């Protein structure tokens, strides 16, 4: 019988990780979990420059890793190209890409401006693909790498007012599977992480106004998730401990996706 070494840590020492949309919320937590496991981190931001710079300083001070920030709108191909050139100049490698940047708006489908539809897809799908494409080229050279696409339970669970967002996440998950099949021959894994109701500083007030108890009743595990639930899953997937996981979707939702029918017909004990 094979003897396993007793080591529960997630090891990412000397890896270089790019997290898009990494300056706040889930993205910031992912940057932190990666750094805590020893990875050097590139924190992409679009509008929150100060938050990204402060996070980079904190990660270096806390974990002794290299952490750099870079501003780029991932829907802009020229800015994405500059970001990857920045990584080449500062690290000469890229081991993990986390496509976390995304955007969401709410609108009635029949009144949805097509420019808004395009913006959602430009960020959530085209931007993620372009980043994966440039990351993949670098990973192919080294015959190793991991791409993690942050999707949503709304790839499969429809919502009123979010036809454009839900459609973009469904497309992102199919993109994940296609990339995984193509890149597997180069020892590159591609997976999708699909969060459910996750509390962040940005949506905390909205959750409270809507009713936290409602979410707690709807979610089988009885609670809204926190950013670390997603972040540590990503760190695991980026590590060798997940070396046989690719072309799949992992739902981080406390069972929320499967709980569309709250009626319980079981007899009382």
Report CA 170 to chain centroid distance, whole Å: 14
Q: Are 18 and 89 in contact (CB under 8 A)?
A: no
* Spatial distance between the Cα atoms of 154 and 195, rounded to a whole number of angstroms: 9
* Spatial distance between the Cα atoms of 49 and 27, rounded to a whole number of angstroms: 14
Place of tokens 């009144």: 111
In the three-class reduction of DSSP (H, G, I as helix; E, B as strand; rest coil), residue 113 is classed as: coil
Q: Which of 45, 165, 251, 256 is catalytic?
A: 165
- Residues near 91 by Cβ (< 8 Å), separated by ≥ 6? 16, 40, 42, 66
List residues bridging with 98 in a β-sheet: 19, 148
Task: Provide φ and ψ at 76, rounded to 5°.
Answer: -105, 110
Largest CA distance in the chain: 66
Neighbours of 99 (CB within 10 A): 31
Q: Does 165 qualify as catalytic in the annotation?
A: yes
Query: For residue 238, what are its two tokens?
Result: 């980026």
- Residues near 143 by Cβ (< 8 Å), separated by ≥ 6? 186, 187
In the three-class reduction of DSSP (H, G, I as helix; E, B as strand; rest coil), residue 158 is classed as: coil
* Spatial distance between the Cα atoms of 69 and 46, rounded to a whole number of angstroms: 10
Instruction: Please identify every residue annotated as catalytic.
Output: 165
């Amino acid at each position: 019988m094979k003897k396993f070494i007793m080591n529960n840590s997630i090891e990412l020492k000397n890896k270089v990780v790019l997290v898009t949309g990494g300056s706040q919320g889930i993205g910031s937590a992912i940057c932190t979990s990666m750094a805590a496991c020893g990875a050097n981190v590139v924190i992409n931001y679009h509008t929150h420059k100060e938050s990204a710079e402060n996070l980079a300083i904190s990660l270096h001070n806390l974990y002794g890793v290299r952490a750099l920030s870079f501003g780029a709108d991932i829907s802009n191909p020229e800015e994405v190209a500059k970001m990857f050139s920045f990584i080449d100049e500062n690290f000469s490698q890229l081991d993990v890409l986390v496509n976390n940047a995304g955007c969401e708006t709410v609108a009635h489908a029949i009144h949805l401006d097509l420019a808004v539809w395009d913006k959602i897809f430009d960020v959530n799908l085209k931007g993620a693909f372009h980043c994966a494409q440039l990351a993949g080229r670098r990973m192919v050279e080294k015959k190793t790498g991991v791409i993690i696409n942050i999707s949503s339970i709304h790839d499969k669970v429809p919502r009123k007012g979010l036809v454009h967002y839900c459609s973009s996440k469904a497309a992102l998950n199919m993109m994940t599977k296609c990339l995984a099949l193509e890149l597997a021959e180069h020892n590159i894994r591609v997976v999708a992480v699909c969060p459910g109701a996750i509390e962040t500083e940005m949506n905390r007030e909205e959750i409270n106004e809507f009713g936290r108890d409602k979410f707690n009743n709807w979610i089988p595990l009885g609670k809204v998730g926190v950013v670390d639930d997603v972040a540590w899953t990503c760190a695991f997937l980026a590590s060798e401990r997940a070396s046989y996981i690719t072309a799949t979707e992992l739902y981080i939702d406390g069972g929320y996706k499967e709980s569309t029918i709250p009626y319980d017909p079981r007899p009382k004990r």
